[in-house]
Structure 1
């Protein structure tokens, strides 16, 4: 079985959210400095020994996160019918980054979202 390389790019954004139906303070509008880790699997390296250029991944991640930065996530269309929890945010980012980055030899493997230090969730598909 051939080996698989995996790279990770980390970025951040600031946004507010309120959890509808939550019994506690998080039902009120509040903000986080979100940290996002994008894990990308590479099944083949180019002649330089690179699976995917960090710069390319950073650019796509930054572009996607720029649409969320300094927003109320509850008002972002993708969260109009679901709570903007860290779990749902991780799935949204996984789907969006996969759509933009996946190729025959490259696959987004996991997205990790931290809403505060030590508290986060991840999403991946088997």
Structure 2
């Protein structure tokens, strides 16, 4: 028998800049409207309960607010690690996992786009 998996999908945006560090120096600082797509699973016992999207969105927005209008290179941990699409996604995945855990939701996939055509995805393995 196939088991159903119930997920919520949320999409939000962050306006933040970054500059990639290369072996021969740093590129120019440039802005992005980063698109963040989250797939999250509610606690197992809540599958029949009504979940308010607003509560989840507020938690996510409050967390992501620290990046809004910022240059990633000037923020921890990107002072030490290169603020690439891949590294930014990895940091967001770990930090949003911890934030959502507070309300017992599980982040199972994060898609981060730096443009409409360029996305990087991180998901949990089965």
Residues 103 and 29 (structure 1 numbering): CA distance in 2 closer, same or farther, change over 3 Å?
Answer: closer
Give the 5 Å matches for 1:49-88: 49-50=49-50, 52-88=51-87
Give the 5 Å matches for 1:8-19: 8-19=9-20
1:4 positional shift:
1.5
Contact 2:6 2:47 in 1 (8 A): no
Contact 1:91 1:124 in 2 (8 A): no
Q: Which runs of 4+ in 1 moved over 4 A?
A: none
Q: Deviations over 1:68-91 (max 9, x none)?
A: 010010011121111111111111
Give me the CA root mean square deviation. 2.4
Aligned residues: 123
Contact 1:44 1:105 in 2 (8 A): no
The residue aligned with 1:20 is 21
Q: Deviations over 1:33-58 (max 9, x none)?
A: 111111102352538533x4322221
In structure 2, what is the Cα distance between the partners aligned to 1:104 and 1:62? 14
Give the 5 Å matches for 1:28-39: 28-39=28-39
The residue aligned with 1:100 is 99
Give TM-score, length-normalised by structure 1: 0.84
Structure 1: unaligned runs, 5 residues or longer: none
Structure 2 residue 28 is the aligned partner of structure 1 residue 46: no
1:102 positional shift:
2.3
The residue aligned with 1:123 is 122
Give TM-score, length-normalised by structure 2: 0.84
Contact 1:8 1:40 in 2 (8 A): yes
